[in-house]
């Protein structure tokens, strides 16, 4: 728990929930990634938290950036970073957005089908493309759908098509699933990537880069392996599958870079029961799914919560947000243990909220303001 954040919160007296991110922790995280994977370029996944102070810090540390849109590309360029440090990593791009990115200097694009290659060939000639391949995501707390990437068997055709259309077939990307705690997931994915490299070599095209995506976990309630363990496992798998012809590599940490750097302070608005016989209390906070805690969807992410009554006897409760929307319930299938003495008006601290909170917030559902954010 960051003393700097606690100190900031002690001095704040505005109403409403807020998230506070500690830049010292972001710096530590960046350095941990850089040390664990010294030959790998770090492309921060801007979507996790695009706060300008975070982008400025990472720019100064030498990070590169994975962007989902022209909007994010512009945010990164505003830090003074050169466009060569940007990857336009979204496989779904309008042709005019590709053209705008190209005009801004971006030369590295993600694809997963020939239709996307066609757009890039038309408006971003000579750029490098990497093909995202599907990966099953076993072991991830937030396994990915089939939305991004193609079957590994189709990737060589996509890359060869790029090569034939004036682009550089640069490499392969995958994503093992968010909050991935299974170190073996990278091994399977790297074996698949090596297979694509071999097939391309047979076709006379030399790929150069493997983008290993994100998925590095933040510690929520359950313990997760540390970044050094990931570095070791990944380096071992690279050597195993690529031998002494190691490709250049990229990682795209988002949650792993900022997740544990942020803390949300919220207030208990109401504690009640639905009937005299109910065992389980309902605890309503002034923040919920629509104002920052969207990742509690399907109870996927279980945030650690501190209360001023910690240490007292606990009992299970359903945790819900403040809106008039019945889906705005965070933990119900698996109730959350909180102190019996918890009271209306208490402030609670929700840990590991630096990623995927501010931008997931709605613009103003139910008339509540978007999540306030401070980066210190």
* Interface residue with its own copies, options 36, 54, 55, 67 (CB under 8 A): 67
Q: How far apart (Å, rounded) are the C-alpha atoms in residues 298 and 359?
A: 19
Q: What gap in Å lies between CA 324 and CA 202, rounded to an integer?
A: 60
* Minimum distance from residue 154 beta carbon to its own copies (Å): 5
| Ranges within 283-312 binding its own copies (CB under 8 A) | 284, 286, 290, 297
Q: Does 69 bind its own copies (CB under 8 A)?
A: yes
Q: How far is the CB of 239 from its own copies (least distance, A)?
A: 30
Instruction: Return d(Cα 160, Cα 155) in angstroms, integer.
Output: 9
Q: Is position 185 an interface residue for its own copies (rule: CB under 8 A)?
A: no
324 is catalytic: yes
148 lies in the binding site for its own copies (CB under 8 A): yes
Among 208, 272, 312, 337, binds its own copies (CB under 8 A): 272
Instruction: Closer to its own copies by CB, 131 or 194: give it.
Output: 131
Among 138, 246, 369, 376, binds its own copies (CB under 8 A): 369
Cα(45)–Cα(257) distance, rounded to whole angstroms? 9
Cβ proximity to its own copies: between 130 and 284 the closer is 284
Q: Does 65 bind its own copies (CB under 8 A)?
A: no
Contacts of 200 (CB under 8 A, 6+ apart): 156, 159, 160, 169, 206, 207
Distance CA 317, CA 270 (A): 12
Query: CA 345 to CA 228: how far, in whole Å?
Result: 41
| Beta-ladder partners of 282 | 272, 318
104, 205, 271, 315: which one contacts its own copies (CB under 8 A)? Answer: 271
CB burial of residue 94 (10 Å; 0-12, 13-18, 19+): exposed
Site for its own copies in 323-342 (CB under 8 A): 323-329, 332
Q: Which is nearer to its own copies, 105 or 228 (CB)?
A: 105
Scanning residues 241 to 270, which ones bind its own copies (CB under 8 A)? 267, 269-270
Stretch that binds its own copies, among 194-202, 204-212, 227-235, 282-290 (CB under 8 A): 282-290
In the region spanning residues 227 to 246, those forming contacts with its own copies, defined by CB under 8 A, are none
**Least distance between its own copies and beta carbon 235 (Å):** 26
Integer CA distances (angstroms), 191 to 181, 186, 271, in order: 18, 9, 52
Q: Which is nearer to its own copies, 232 or 267 (CB)?
A: 267
Q: How many residues bind its own copies (CB under 8 A)?
A: 80
Considering only residues 25 to 54 of the shown chain, the ones binding its own copies according to CB under 8 A are: 45-47, 50
177 is written with which tokens?
């699933």
218 vs 303: CA distance, rounded Å: 10
Cβ of residue 1: shortest distance to its own copies, in angstroms?
Answer: 26
Residues 67, 175: Cα–Cα separation, whole Å: 15
Q: Is 296 left (phi over 0), alpha (psi -120 to 50) or beta?
A: alpha
Minimum Å gap between C-beta 269 and its own copies is 5
Select 110 or 233, whichever has its Cβ closest to its own copies: 110
Question: Measuring CA to CA, how many Å separate 202 from each of 67, 113, 125, 166, 362?
Answer: 32, 20, 25, 20, 49
Instruction: Say whether residue 122 binds its own copies (CB under 8 A).
Output: no
Q: Looking at beta carbons only, is 310 or 332 nearer to its own copies?
A: 332
In the block, residue with structure tokens 């030959």: 39
Of the listed 131, 135, 317, 324, which one is catalytic? 324
Catalytic residue list = 324
């Amino acid at each position: 728990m960051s003393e700097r954040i606690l100190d900031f919160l002690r001095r704040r007296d505005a109403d409403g929930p807020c998230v506070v991110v500690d830049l010292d922790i972001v710096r530590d995280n960046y350095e941990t990634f850089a040390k664990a994977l010294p030959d790998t370029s770090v492309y921060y996944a801007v979507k996790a938290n695009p706060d300008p102070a975070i982008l400025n810090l990472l720019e100064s540390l030498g990070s590169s950036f994975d962007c989902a849109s022209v909007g994010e590309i512009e945010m990164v360029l505003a830090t003074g970073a050169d466009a060569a440090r940007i990857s336009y990593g979204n496989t779904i791009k309008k042709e005019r957005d590709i053209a705008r990115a190209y005009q801004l200097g971006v030369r590295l694009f993600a694809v997963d089908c020939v239709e996307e290659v066609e757009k890039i060939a038309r408006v971003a000639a000579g750029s490098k493309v990497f093909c995202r391949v599907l990966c099953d995501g076993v072991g991830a707390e937030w396994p990915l759908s089939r939305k991004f990437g193609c079957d590994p068997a189709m990737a060589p055709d996509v890359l060869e098509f790029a090569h034939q259309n004036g682009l550089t077939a640069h490499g392969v990307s995958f994503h093992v699933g968010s909050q991935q705690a299974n170190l073996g997931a990278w091994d399977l994915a790297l074996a698949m990537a090596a297979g694509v490299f071999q097939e391309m070599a047979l076709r006379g095209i030399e790929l150069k880069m493997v983008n290993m995506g994100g998925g590095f976990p933040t510690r929520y309630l359950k313990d997760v392996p540390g970044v050094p363990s990931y570095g070791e496992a990944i380096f071992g798998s690279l050597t195993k599958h690529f031998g002494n012809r190691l490709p250049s590599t990229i990682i795209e940490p988002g949650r792993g870079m900022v997740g544990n750097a942020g803390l949300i302070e919220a207030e208990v608005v109401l504690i009640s029961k639905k009937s005299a016989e109910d065992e389980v209390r309902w605890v309503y906070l002034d923040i919920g799914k629509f104002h920052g805690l969207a990742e509690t969807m399907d109870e996927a992410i279980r945030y650690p919560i501190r209360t001023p009554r910690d240490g007292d006897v606990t009992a299970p409760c359903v945790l819900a947000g403040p809106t008039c929307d019945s889906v705005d319930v965070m933990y119900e299938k698996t109730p959350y243990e909180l102190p019996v003495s918890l009271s209306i008006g208490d402030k609670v601290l929700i840990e590991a909220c630096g990623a995927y909170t501010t931008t997931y917030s709605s613009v103003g559902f139910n008339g509540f303001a978007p999540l306030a954010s401070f980066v210190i």
